[in-house]
Structures are given as structure tokens and as C-alpha cells.
Amino acid sequence: MSVFSASVTGARLATGFSLPVLVVLSLGFVAVPLTASPYVLEAILLPFLALSLAGLGLNLLTGYCGQVSLGSAAFMAVGAFAAYNFDLRTGLPIPVSIVLAALTAAVIGLVFGLPSLRLRGFYLAVSTLAAQFFVQWALTKFSWFSNGSPSGIIAAPVIELAGLRLDSAVGRYLFSLTIVTAITLLVHRIVSGPEGVNLIAVRDNETAAKVIGVPVLRTKLVAFALSSGIIGIAGVLWAFTYLRTVEPAGFNLDRSFQILFIVIIGGLATIRGTFLGAGLIVVFPLLLGRLSAFAFDGLIDAGLIKLIERIVLGGTIILFLIAEPNGLSAILSRLSARLRALVRRG
Amino acid sequence: MDWFELLFAAEVAVGGLLSGVMYALVAIGFVLIYKTSGVLNFAQGAMVLFAALTFVNLVERGVPFWVSVAVTLAAMTALGFGIERTVLRPLANRSPMTLFMATLGLSYVIEGAAQLIWGTQVHRLDLGISNAPFEVWGIFISTFDLVAAAIAAALVAALTAFFRFTHTGLAFRAVADDQFAALAVGLRLDRIWATVWAAAGVVALVAGLLWGARLGVQFSLSLIVLKALPVLVLGGFDSILGAIVAGLVIGATEKLAEVYIGPFFGGGIEGWFAYAVALIVLLVRPSGLFGQKRVERY
């Protein structure tokens, strides 16, 4: 119930470009490119955008439709490798390659979503792991996917739009931001329209949904295809704009969990929560690194920090599940409500 | 197929069955917790790692074998009680999926803590069991695998006896059957959950010792959870018998597939083959081989 109400407030906030959305968009498109340092763009904003999009895709499936997937990174890998191969082998413009990559990821997602027609809950969650292992295996095993590169690591092509080379950090950032904005709007339309109601109905009570005439099987498959397609594009952004290399190793199980954590921390079935969660997940390790460098002056080595990061991350997940199951989005709602009350009073 | 090929196939199958026992051993830890608290405990692999690391570090510091076992058992029990107190109790009455995600977080915490305490280097673990193969009707069988299977069988027998003949075991079964009824007759749910998690910790110790002796004690030990999951899906999350049978089925088919199908794909198929087997069986029988049949599998 509370998840549902959170999604409703989220929808109201973003309908027809409300003020906060406009502020964020103008900051993102104008202020950030003018002021942000290359470090902020490369180390924070580019991974943040890619992971936000992946989180958005998973949230559509897990938050709205209630199907837990542990194989998100596999669809990122499918997207990245598909875009690379379409670009390499067809010479089509990059945006076309990206659309084709999204379609490829959607089809693969559809195939791995088929078990959802018969399995639920844990049985489904575990079976999505099959996608994770199969895709990673296929991409490393068949060198055709990486164009015969011996190391399996390949340089991503430079993004070119109408003769314009988006090689710089700012260029890649704006390209990424445009795609993320467009897809976020699309997802917002979907979840606040009739299809979104179907998704939530399937999540909340499958039998009841079937009784009132929701096409349950079709809705689940659409959710899987759409979610995988979006996560596929996130994979393209991750490989082409952030890392600028394409390799299967980065799309491992830990990445899948990271995307799931983004959705949990941000809040299930909220769009803005996904962005908040992704922000936390990206910034947190950097902060921890800085903090330990500052506090212990390099006495703690990098391996140790990785372990501490793991512990704190796991602890944060548990803490959020216990204390704030609706995630950062709910915290933000409360804060803004309190702020509004203060403004009204003062 | 001539006689030698047949013998070879039999040898592969037997080897697979024995490694299937090892999968089942990990899966049983899951079943214990799932049966009594409805939680799919993803942290079981991390518990295996924690137990093995604790044990091997004690032994390397010159603590006698059985004292190390006792200390590790105590540590696993403390861990079980700690988890009940800090994670399960605050999350009581929440959806099973929420609890599952909490165990995902828990696995990160335990993995990180285990390596923070005991270091990240690889340890050799020698249990004093010979690894020499011996011959039965022309088939070579590893002594270690056979001893491991015997230990696993003993563990299952002990667990079965525990469930059947002790007061606590009866309470476990009551909680597994109907939580509310169990509460209504005055069973202490919190204590039972803590005990079950401690018992799963004991299973994790046994699995950790055997797997650790085979692979070395290191981080990758916690990844055997990924080997156990298809076994669970196939056998049903709530059946010990199912875990064993599914472990054997998956162990044998995986090894046979690796030898006879793998070469067509360039090998390395063991990462996903078990999942494929489990999925195909599930499409025919959605409740697994031995799982309870319910309309909703939540």
C-alpha cells in the first residue's frame, strides 16, 4: 500500500514538468556542462547516468511489476555488445545502432522472461540468474562478439552525431543525459498510463488482476522486454560514454546486485528514487575513499577499503529495508513536506 | 560405444554424483532456514566462507583440530543469534522478498567482515583425508569425495533424527507447518529462528570444511551459493530430500554435459548448465521435484 502511494506522489510531482523537474533539467543541461570539472563528469556523472538508467529499467520490472530480477547486468552486456557489433558491422549511425541494441536486449530479455509465466517469487529470481551466467559465458566464449580481440576488451567507438564528434567529457555527458531524459519521460508516461496500472495490478495481486481483465501474461512479458531494452541502453551508455571500452567482465553478478541495490535504496516504484539511489551508490565509494585518505592518511590500503565498502553497503541495504522500505524517495517526500510546512508558517 | 567408453561415462557420472552431494550439502543449509522462516538466505555462501576462514585461521595459529571446530561452532551460533536479533526480528512480518534482499545485504556484510578479520589470502586446508583414487569394478573413485559423501550422509541423518526425536526439532516442524499456530501454543518464534540460523551455521561449517579442503579457503568459497541455487530450485526450497536428489541429478548431468556436450560449445558450460536443467524441469513441474505444491509460490 505504502509503495503504491509513493508511486502516486512521484507521478504527481513529474506530471507536465513540475518546478523541481525543470530545475533539475536546466541544471543538468546548462549549469553542469558550463561548470563541472572533467573529474566530476568522468567519475561521477557519467556512471551515475548509466546506472540510473539501468535502475530505471529494473524498477519498471521489479518495482512496478513485482518481478525480481538478479540478471540485470547481463542485459547491460547484451546492449553494449549489440551496439558495438551493429556499429562495427553495419556502419549505421550510432543512434540507430543504439536503438537496434535496445531491441536486441529486449528480445533476449523476453526469452529469459518466459519462465515468469510459470514461476513466481524466489523461483523466478533464481532463474533470472541463468541470464547472468549464460550471457557472460557466451560473450567470453565466442570471440565473434568482441570481433576476435584476444583480450576480450575492446575500445568503444567514438559517438558521432551528424558529423559532430562527441569525444570530450562534456559531449559524452550531454549525449548520455539526453538519452536518459528521453527514456525517463517515456517510462513516466508508461507507468502513469493504463499500462502502468496493469503492471501494478500484476504486482499487487495476480489473480485479482486476471479477474478484472488485465492481460497478466502479456503484461509480464512486456515488462521484461521493456525493462531489458532500457537496461540494454544503459549498458551502451556505460560502455560507450563512461568506460569507453566494451568488456564482459564489468557486467558481472556484482553489477546486477548493484542495480538492485539502487532500486531498493532509492525506493521501489518511484522514478526519482532510482536517481537518488544511483547517486548514493556512485558517490558513496568515492566519499569513503576520500574520507579514509583524509582520516588515516593512506594507512589503510585500497583492498581494505573495498572490504569496508562492502560491509557498509550491505549494512545500508539492511538498514533501509528495516527503517525506510520506501527508500530515499520517501525521505525526500517527508523532507519537502516539512520544508513546505515551514515556508507556509514563516 | 565400447566397453571402455561406457566405463569412462560411468566414472564421469559417479564423479558427478559425488560432487552433487557437495552441492546438496550447501543447499541443505538453505532448506533449514527456508522451511522454518520462509527466508531464502542468500548469505548461506557467505556463512560457509566465514566458517571456513575462521576454522582455517585457528588451525594455522596452532589451535588443535577439535578445539578449532568447537570455537568455530560457537562463532557460527553467535552469528546466528546475532542475525536473528539485528536483521530478522526488525523485519518480522515483512514480505519474503524483502527478507531475501536483506540477506543479500547480509551476505555483503559477512563476506566483508570475514575477510576484514581473517585477511584475503588463500589458505590451504588439509583435513587429513587422502585424495588417492581407488578402483571399484574398473571405475576410479576419489577417496576424498567418498568420505565427503559419507559425512554429508551422516549430517543428513543427524538432522533427520534431530527433527524427528527432539523437542526442539518438533518445535521447528511446528513453526514450519504453521507459524501462527506455533505462536498460539506458546512457542518462542525468535528463539527458534535463532536456533535454526545457528543450525544452518553448523551446516555451513561442514560444507566450508569439505569445500575448503577441495578448493582452498578463499573468497570464491562464498560463490558456491550460486551452485546451490539451481539445486534448490530443482528440489524445492523446503525439502531436504529434494535438495539431495536434485544435488545428485545436477551433479551428474553437469559433469556428463561438460564431457559430452561441452566440447560442441567450446567448454566452460558449468556456469549456467545447472540453471538450464533446473529451468527445463521447472517448466514441466513448477513446484520442483519435491517442493510443496501451493497455488502461490511465495
The 10s digit of each residue's pLDDT in B69-96 is: 999 999 999 999 999 899 988 988 888 8
| B269 domain residue, yes or no | yes
| B290 domain residue, yes or no | no
| C-beta of residue A265 within 8 angstroms of C-beta of residue A281 | yes
Alpha carbons B257 and B262: distance in angstroms, whole number: 6
Domain span at B128: 3-284
* Average confidence (pLDDT) per 10 residues, chain B, 298 residues: 76 84 89 86 92 91 90 93 90 85 93 87 77 72 82 88 86 82 86 88 91 84 86 85 90 86 74 84 72 47
- Indicate yes or no: CB of A129 within 8 angstroms of CB of B111: no
Q: Does A141 contact chain B (CB < 8 Å)?
A: yes
Structure ipTM: 0.86
| B294 domain residue, yes or no | no
Q: In angstroms, what CA-CA distances link A270 with A29, A56, A230, A274?
A: 23, 9, 16, 7
Q: In angstroms, what CA-CA distances link B121 with A45, B52, B59, B221?
A: 35, 13, 15, 12
Measured in angstroms, the CA of B212 and the nearest CA of chain A are apart by: 21
| C-beta of residue A140 within 8 angstroms of C-beta of residue A152 | yes
| C-beta of residue A114 within 8 angstroms of C-beta of residue A56 | no
- Indicate yes or no: CB of A142 within 8 angstroms of CB of B278: no
Q: Name residue B178's amino acid.
A: D
Task: Name the β-bridge partners of B123.
Answer: B217
How many domains in chain B?
1
Alpha carbons A102 and A119: distance in angstroms, whole number: 25
- Indicate yes or no: CB of A260 within 8 angstroms of CB of B298: no
CB pairs under 8 A between A and B: 128
Alpha carbons B210 and A296: distance in angstroms, whole number: 39
* Average confidence (pLDDT) per 10 residues, chain A, 346 residues: 43 59 86 86 92 96 92 95 92 91 96 84 84 89 81 78 80 94 94 92 91 92 95 95 88 93 92 94 88 73 83 92 90 90 84
| B289 domain residue, yes or no | no
- Indicate yes or no: CB of A121 within 8 angstroms of CB of B97: yes
Q: Which residues of B touch A277 (CB under 8 A)?
A: none
Q: Which residues, including other chains, have CB under 8 Å from residue A106's CB and lie 6 or more apart?
A: A225, A226, A228, A229, A232
Task: Name the β-bridge partners of B141.
Answer: B134
Alpha helices in chain B (DSSP H): 3-37, 44-60, 65-83, 96-118, 143-165, 167-177, 179-184, 189-215, 225-235, 240-260, 262-265, 270-284
Helix (H, G, I), strand (E, B) or coil at A326: coil
- Of A68, A127, A307, which has the smallest distance from its Cβ to B116's Cβ? A307
What are A31-55's pLDDT values in tens digits?
Answer: 888 888 888 888 899 999 999 999 9
Q: Which residues of A touch B107 (CB under 8 A)?
A: 314
* pLDDT at residue A8 in the model: 45
| B298 domain residue, yes or no | no
Task: Name the β-bridge partners of A161.
Answer: A164
CATH no. for residue B46? 1.10.3470
Alpha carbons B8 and B195: distance in angstroms, whole number: 45
Pick from A61, A144, A321, A324 the residue to mutate for testing the B interface (most B CBs within 10 Å). A321
Q: Does A68 contact chain B (CB < 8 Å)?
A: yes
Q: Which residues of B touch A317 (CB under 8 A)?
A: 101-102, 104-105, 108
* pLDDT at residue B227 in the model: 85
Mode of pairing for the β-strands spanning A164-165 and A160-161:
antiparallel
| B185 domain residue, yes or no | yes
Alpha carbons A146 and A152: distance in angstroms, whole number: 6
Measured in angstroms, the CA of A47 and the nearest CA of chain B are apart by: 22
Question: What is the overall mean pLDDT for chain A?
Answer: 87
| C-beta of residue B51 within 8 angstroms of C-beta of residue B203 | no
Alpha carbons A111 and A15: distance in angstroms, whole number: 33
| C-beta of residue A227 within 8 angstroms of C-beta of residue A60 | yes
Alpha carbons A109 and A54: distance in angstroms, whole number: 14
Q: Which residues, including other chains, have CB under 8 Å from residue B282's CB and lie 6 or more apart?
A: A115, A118, A119, A123, A127, B233, B234, B288
Alpha carbons B193 and A202: distance in angstroms, whole number: 32
- Chain A residue whose CA is closest to B40: A122
| B53 domain residue, yes or no | yes
Q: What domains can you pick out in chain A, each with its CATH number?
A: 2-345 (1.10.3470)
* pLDDT at residue A13 in the model: 46
| B256 domain residue, yes or no | yes
